[in-house]
Amino acid sequence: MKIASFDDHRVGLVEGERLYDVTAALPAALDALPPQRINWLVAHWAEARPAIERVRAQATGRALDVVRWLAANPAPPHVFAAPANYRKHIGELGSRVVTKKGRTAREQGFFLKAPGSVVGHGGTIELPRGSTRRFDHESELAVIIGQGGRDIPRERAWSHVFGYACLIDATMRIEAEQFEEERSMRKSFAGFTPLGPWIVTADEVGDPQALDNRLWVNGELRQQANTGEMIVGVAELIELVSSVLPLQPGDVIASGTPEGVGPFAPGDTLRIAIERVGEMTVQVREREGVSPRAY
């Protein structure tokens, strides 16, 4: 199933070219906190599914192009992110890694992006006004956690995966000594975490380590890799994160980027496509608000 969050935090199923609103299947108590609907749904999927299918059967559906898409999970408790996590040019450079210091997520662990930086398909990455800095795209497979848990061994990781989505990890680069902000801030401007266009349940994806991962800027292919080239796989990332703190339903793990990371600028269109997951497009714009300092 493809589960989407849209308009004013309604929940829908995407089938073919139609979206079916199934919000009525969720408990009325969630109407007090609409952004939490996806977190509840992934935590209660087994019990919620029959009601969702009943509501779906009654729904007429609507065309996909009249929907305002929100992030696939608009309010993830956490957005964990692995550093660059793909082998570079397999066959040319062997297992040389793409991280600056040659260290993988196995040694470096993870970092956090602000959950408030998520945006959906058709949304906008907002660059600080007047910035001359370089901003880069990173094309990543996002893992959506269903059942939470602590100290999850990699062998049991799959029972904690609800599904997957496309994720762009937008980043403001460090360029000079006066611009060495913390990574969490450089990756957390509004819209810097496009997540979508929907969550595809794990059963529809199968092996997450066998998916083509591609990203285009204005139609030009910039990144292309297969998730089979990940250095630290999805199961090991779950083991790693849950050894530090408990995973919660709805948490997002951005699994790291392959090579081809490159710049984008206001006016650009970014498109990411991950096989069996979906395709998402976002615009880049300079924001109107003036910052209290230069970025």
Single residue of 22, 39, 113, 169 touching Mn ion by CB under 5 A: 169
The count of residues interacting with Mn ion (CB under 5 A) is: 3
Q: Are 27 and 88 in contact (CB under 8 A)?
A: no
Q: List binders of Mn ion among 173-192 (CB under 5 A).
A: none
Please state whether the peptide bond connecting residue 194 to the residue before it is cis, i.e. omega within 30 degrees of 0.
no
The residue length of the chain stands at 295
Q: How far is the CB of 187 from Mn ion (least distance, A)?
A: 8
Q: Are 170 and 125 in contact (CB under 8 A)?
A: yes
Torsion of CA 195, 199, 200, 201, to 10 degrees: 140
Q: How far is the CB of 49 from Mn ion (least distance, A)?
A: 32
> What region does 252 belong to: left with phi over 0, alpha with psi -120 to 50, or beta?
beta
Nearer of residues 21 and 140 to Mn ion, judged by Cβ:
140
Nearer of residues 34 and 260 to Mn ion, judged by Cβ:
260
Single residue of 43, 233, 257, 280 touching Mn ion by CB under 5 A: 257
> Phi and psi at residue 212, in whole multiples of 5°?
-70, 135
73 Cβ contact list (under 8 Å, min separation 6): 5, 38, 39, 42, 118, 144, 165, 195, 199, 250, 252
Q: How far is the CB of 171 from Mn ion (least distance, A)?
A: 7
Q: How far is the CB of 186 from Mn ion (least distance, A)?
A: 11
What residue number has its CB nearest to Mn ion? 169
Q: List binders of Mn ion among 122-141 (CB under 5 A).
A: 138
Q: How far is the CB of 255 from Mn ion (least distance, A)?
A: 9
Q: Of 114-122, 200-208, 249-257, 285-293, which segment contacts Mn ion by CB under 5 A?
A: 249-257
Task: Tell me: does residue 195 bind Mn ion (CB under 5 A).
Answer: no
Site residues (CB under 5 A) for Mn ion?
Answer: 138, 169, 257
